[in-house]
Amino acid sequence: MSDKELETNRHYTEVIAFKVQEDEYCVDIMSVREIRGWTPATRIPHAPSYVRGVINLRGAVLPIIDLGARLGFGLTEPSERNVIIVAQMEGQLFGLLVDAVSDIMTITSDDLQPTPNIGSEEARTFIKNVIAREEQMIRFVDLKQILPQQMAQVA
Amino acid sequence: MSDPLAELRETFFLECDELLEKLETDLLALEQGVEDEELVNSAFRAVHSIKGGAGAFGMSAITDCAHVFETAMDHVRAGTLKLGPDLCALFLRGKDCLASLILAENGGPPADEAEVKAVEEAFDEVNPKEEEFDPSEIFKPVSLAADLGLEVEADAAAEADAAATDPMDILAQFEASEEEIAAAEDAGAGKELVVVFAPKDAFFARGNDAAPFIRELHDLGDAEVMLDASRVPSFDDLSATGAYFEWTVCLDPSVNPSTVEEIFEFVEEDCVLSIGESIGLASEEPVAKEPEADVFIDFEAEFEAEDGAAGETVAPAKVAEAEGESETEAKEEAAEPQIILPKPEDVPDVAASEVAADAKPAPANDQPKPVEQKPVVAQAARPGGGPKPVVRVELSRVDRLINLVSELVISQSMLSQAVEDQHKLADNENRALASGLDEFRALTRELQESVMAIRAEPVRSMFMRMGQIARSAAQVCGKKVRLVTEGETTEVDKTVIERLTEPLTHMIRNSVDHGIEDVEKRIEAGKDPTGTIHLSADHQSGKVVLTVTDDGGGVNRPKVLEKAIEKGIVPEGAQLTDAEIDQLLFAPGFSTAATISQVSGRGVGMDVVKREINSLGGRISLSSTPGEGTVFTISLPLTLAVLDGMVIKVAGQTVVVPLSAIAESLRPEADEIQNIGDGGKCIFVRGNFVPILDIGLSLGYREPIESYEGKVMLLVENDHGGQYAFAVDDIVDQRQVVIKGLQDNYGRIEGVAAATILGDGQIALILDVNDLTQDGSALGAPIGMAGQMKEAVGV
């Protein structure tokens, strides 16, 4: 959903903010189905390293993406404190492995700033906007870009 | 769906499918010489309904075709057309035409106009012109007399017999002899059409009045009305809402009884109506419809049992099959709600034998097949059994239910396990808990089975389609072929049926094209000029077994071998056993037809059939006897939702290997493993060198290992017959697993077919054996020489 659409459709967007490593990120609450604790995943052969495997979500096979690894911070060492944000995009369900969920916030489209033009092309692909809040930066994650190629094809 | 008309159209097409199916069942039964007027009536009604529906939607092509069809059927009904094999064939062609026209309307490929035209013309040709009627041809005094005579006999046999003779039959006979009656009247026979009309309480309760009905009868011509008020009780017993009168109306004999029926059509339920002739005793013994239906259904169930016995004497080779069949069918029948009705014990026996003699005048030894066929036909064609109530449900809802129930089964087993671990259930105080858990388990299992059954549907519709395929193929090849089906009620998962249709179509075409010989050749060989293809379905130990049997020439082994060598499938001079040669038919790129015919040989071979069946988790095999024919046997899982798998451990991960692919498991000694070149290893099993595939490596779970010592080898076979030894760490268990798709949320994974959830809630991947063993795949399957050879030979 582009900024323009956000503006015209609704002024306020609710987002779920969470932590990966020490940084804060957020996703649109409308694409989040549930939040659950970490359970060991079954490895998928020939999958990129940030795809941690699949877990059983009440009978559905849920692929888990290690967001930290996806963003290039290296593999997360998951423990029971880690959480999985179950997100849905175009009918496709997947889990994001993050460190902790911190907040639910209401933002307006005015809060959304374009991602600063930093050197890393990759970062700009995954982070579509940034939000300033209490002198902290919250990164708005583009879920579509997060999915590995193979999964994006499915969606 | 927003457009209401579109929704109606959809319903119409669905109905058409059902009607066409029914029509085909009836026509096939008629073709096989079953003489039953109700079949003709039922077929007529089907065509008529299609015509009506198509008319409502302005589908003129269908209406036109249905019209000529219907006209011809009506003539058969009236007896002005004799139903012979030629006419039956024409009817079947007509049905195929209708089917293709309907398909064309429903977004399918356009119908073959030339064929439609040809069929319509053929119908026009056979339809007699009205003025050519010869009343003497349709004179049927015997059957009339028999019917009337039976009605007065009060014993059980007669009652049952009358029941078997559906009211529609009697009606049809009346219609048939209408003209004859008119002729008889001229001669002063004094026959009259007698209508006895006795309203029930409900008739008046619904606000009806008898007078308008009597008036309508009057309008049909001269009518003499008599009122029977003898049932009016004394004033004290008189109920204000009671119905006590009975009218007897004598009508002009030229009045068509069906017209009378029409008048009473809407109050049928609320009155006792009998239409008969004055010279019989019909009016004294009114034919009440409701009780008949009861007796009829009982009779039907009994008839099936009887039929099993008939099969025994007629075709000894089929004894076991026929008996099993009829037994299961009888059981299935027993489970249907519609036959849980009072069962007069003495009736069915007499009825079964009497009617068997009555309804099938054709000598049994001439027509052994139709005898076997009969129960299904009778069941489908008779309106007496009444349609089963059906709910149409979106498939996705059912799938969701199945998914949830599978989960329930898994969590049930998890719960049991957890409770068992926590408490020692053997203790007395925990007995209630233990028995509660047992009950829970039993219930979840039952629930799972019932839910799975929702997806199941009988193979009948698929078999019907095969009949059409066989006919058109036979026509193209200029051969005479009869398709005999058996076990149409066998239920298989809907998806299995859908995906099986194409391979089966190909197999039937193949059987017609390659299996059955030309007419001259058959006569030369002393066979029936008409070849028979036997298509049967049956449940065998948790599997569905389909067989396609032809009585053709069998596999021409020398020719097959020659072709295989020519195509480089087999090296020259190779010595193959008969079984190995037969297997060559499944080899990719093999086709024995000398010329590519229109029917088969469109570049699709039996290898495609085999691949498709393998992908369904099934297997196909064939056996052939020269000069006698070929038998293809397909065995399939009952549902695609579960799979028999072997749970194994490799590199710390738990994976499932489909049991259907595993030939055996072994723990080889170090000296049985041989090196081939760089890193390639193979194992010596009973004289063959089988390449070893390290599953841990193939799946990318671990680096290549130095030695396979202590590993377990699973000897697997892929669809192309190639053998491989899968090296795994350990075998955990062998169990049924519920298949979960990975496609929806992840996508395809090379080497992995699907996933499943184990008892501990963890996901385990199900391996795709074909993918893993693909030659030159990205997985780097090492292919040894032995593997290539074996694969080539296809053993």
Closest alpha carbon to B653 in B517, B483, B488, B767: B767
pLDDT at residue B131 is higher than 60:
no
* Residue-wise pLDDT tens digits, B479-490: 888 889 888 888
Please report, for the domain that includes residue A36, its CATH number. 2.40.50.180
What confidence score (pLDDT) does residue A63 get?
93
Whether residue B740 lies within 8 A of chain A, CB to CB, comes out as yes
Q: Best of A42, A65, A94, A150 to disrupt the B interface by mutation (most B CBs within 10 Å)?
A: A42
What confidence score (pLDDT) does residue B336 get?
39
Interchain CB distance below 8 Å, A154 and B765: no
- CA A26 to chain B, closest CA, distance in angstroms equals 22
Residue tagged 């009309």 (tokens): B197
pLDDT band at B400 (very low <50, low <70, confident <90, very high): confident
**What gap in Å lies between CA B689 and CA A12, rounded to an integer?**
69
Are B617 and B711 members of one domain?
no
Neighbours of B60 (CB within 10 A): 11
- CA B780 to chain A, closest CA, distance in angstroms equals 13
Q: What is the mean pLDDT of residues B375-402?
A: 64
Take residue B180 and report the two structure tokens written for it.
């004859």
Closest alpha carbon to A45 in B527, B768, B589: B768
Judged by average pLDDT, the poorest of A36-45, A100-109, B61-70, B600-609 is B600-609
Are residues A138 and A57 in contact, defined by beta-carbon separation less than 8 angstroms?
A: no
Higher pLDDT, B536 or B354: B536
pLDDT at residue B548 is higher than 70:
yes
What confidence score (pLDDT) does residue A34 get?
93
* Local structure of residue B219 (DSSP, 8 states): H
B448 occurs within a structural domain: no
B453 occurs within a structural domain: no
Interchain CB distance below 8 Å, A45 and B751: yes
DSSP labels for chain A? --HHHHHHH-SEEEEEEEEETTEEEEEEGGGEEEEEE--PPBP-TT--TTEEEEEEETTEEEEEEEHHHHTTS------TT-EEEEEEETTEEEEEEESEEEEEEEEEGGGEEEPP--S-HHHHHHEEEEEEETTEEEEEE-HHHHS-HHHHHH-
What mean pLDDT value characterizes chain A? 83
The total of structural domains in chain B comes to 6
* Residue-wise pLDDT tens digits, B253-296: 777 777 777 777 777 777 888 877 654 443 344 444 444 333 34
Closest CB to B763: pick one of A55, A91, A150.
A55
Q: What is the mean pLDDT of residues B703-717?
A: 83
Contact residues on chain A for B745, CB-CB shorter than 8 A: 54, 60-63, 92-94, 151, 154
Closest alpha carbon to B172 in B347, B352, B42, B341: B42
Closest CB to A45: pick one of B404, B744, B749.
B749
Are B665 and B784 members of one domain?
yes
Q: What is the mean pLDDT of residues B362-369?
A: 40
Strand segments (E) across B200-283: 223-228, 246-251, 271-277
Whether residue A92 lies within 8 A of chain B, CB to CB, comes out as yes
pLDDT band at B429 (very low <50, low <70, confident <90, very high): low
Q: What residues contact residue B390 under an 8 Å CB cut-off, 6+ apart?
A: none
Choosing from B637, B660, B678, the residue where a domain stops is B637
Choosing from B615, B637, B659, the residue where a domain stops is B637
Cα angle: B356, vertex B362, B364; to 5 degrees: 70
Closest CB to A56: pick one of B698, B744, B763.
B763
Choosing from B637, B667, B700, the residue where a domain stops is B637
What confidence score (pLDDT) does residue B663 get?
85
B451 occurs within a structural domain: no
Residue A101's DSSP bridge partners are A18
Closest alpha carbon to B78 in B207, B187, B173: B173
What mean pLDDT value characterizes chain B? 71
Are B283 and B296 members of one domain?
no
Do the bridges between strand A23-28 and strand A136-141 make them parallel or antiparallel, or are there none, so unpaired?
parallel
Closest CB to A44: pick one of B404, B749, B762.
B749
Are residues B245 and B228 in contact, defined by beta-carbon separation less than 8 angstroms?
A: yes
* Residue-wise pLDDT tens digits, B654-679: 999 988 888 888 888 877 888 877 76
Q: What is the mean pLDDT of residues B223-238?
A: 80
Whether residue B605 lies within 8 A of chain A, CB to CB, comes out as no
Q: What chain B residue is nearest to A48 in terms of C-alpha separation? A: B700
3-state secondary structure of B438: helix
Are residues B42 and B383 in contact, defined by beta-carbon separation less than 8 angstroms?
A: yes
Residue B648's domain spans which residues? 642-793
Are B541 and B627 members of one domain?
yes
pLDDT at residue B526 is higher than 90:
no
Residue A91's domain spans which residues? 3-154
What confidence score (pLDDT) does residue B148 get?
41
Query: Does the ipTM surpass 0.85?
Result: no
Interchain CB distance below 8 Å, A60 and B765: no
3-state secondary structure of B229: coil
Q: Best of B408, B448, B742, B763 to disrupt the A interface by mutation (most A CBs within 10 Å)?
A: B763
Q: What is the mean pLDDT of residues B149-172?
A: 43
Are residues A146 and A63 in contact, defined by beta-carbon separation less than 8 angstroms?
A: no
Q: What is the mean pLDDT of residues B87-112?
A: 81
Closest CB to B763: pick one of A42, A150, A151.
A42
What confidence score (pLDDT) does residue B327 get?
43
Share of chain B above pLDDT 70, in %: 71
What confidence score (pLDDT) does residue B3 get?
64
Whether residue B396 lies within 8 A of chain A, CB to CB, comes out as no
**What gap in Å lies between CA B46 and CA B366, rounded to an integer?**
30
Q: Which of A94-98, B307-311, B606-610 has the highest mean pLDDT?
A: A94-98
Are B300 and B281 members of one domain?
no
pLDDT band at B358 (very low <50, low <70, confident <90, very high): very low
Are B519 and B467 members of one domain?
yes
Interchain CB distance below 8 Å, B755 and A54: yes
Judged by average pLDDT, the poorest of A89-98, B60-69, B232-241, B554-563 is B232-241
Whether residue A125 lies within 8 A of chain B, CB to CB, comes out as no
Are B774 and B727 members of one domain?
yes
Q: What is the mean pLDDT of residues B14-38?
A: 79
Take residue B635 and report the two structure tokens written for it.
């065995």
Are residues B488 and B463 in contact, defined by beta-carbon separation less than 8 angstroms?
A: yes
Whether residue B403 lies within 8 A of chain A, CB to CB, comes out as yes
Residue B737's DSSP bridge partners are B643
User: Roughly what angle, to the nearest 10 degrees, separates helices B319-335 and B289-314?
Assistant: 160
pLDDT band at B311 (very low <50, low <70, confident <90, very high): very low
pLDDT at residue B364 is higher than 50:
no
Contact residues on chain B for A42, CB-CB shorter than 8 A: 653-654, 755, 762-765
Are B571 and B604 members of one domain?
yes
Q: What is the mean pLDDT of residues B495-514?
A: 86
Are B128 and B145 members of one domain?
no
- CA B766 to chain A, closest CA, distance in angstroms equals 11
Task: Count A/B contacts: CB-CB distance under 8 Å.
Answer: 84
pLDDT at residue A77 is higher than 70:
yes
The total of structural domains in chain A comes to 1
pLDDT band at B366 (very low <50, low <70, confident <90, very high): very low
Contact residues on chain B for A150, CB-CB shorter than 8 A: 746-748
Are B723 and B590 members of one domain?
no
Q: What is the mean pLDDT of residues B608-626?
A: 82
Q: What is the mean pLDDT of residues B568-591?
A: 76
Whether residue A29 lies within 8 A of chain B, CB to CB, comes out as no
Judged by average pLDDT, the poorest of A38-52, B342-356, B709-723 is B342-356
Whether residue A105 lies within 8 A of chain B, CB to CB, comes out as no
pLDDT at residue B457 is higher than 60:
yes
pLDDT band at A83 (very low <50, low <70, confident <90, very high): very high
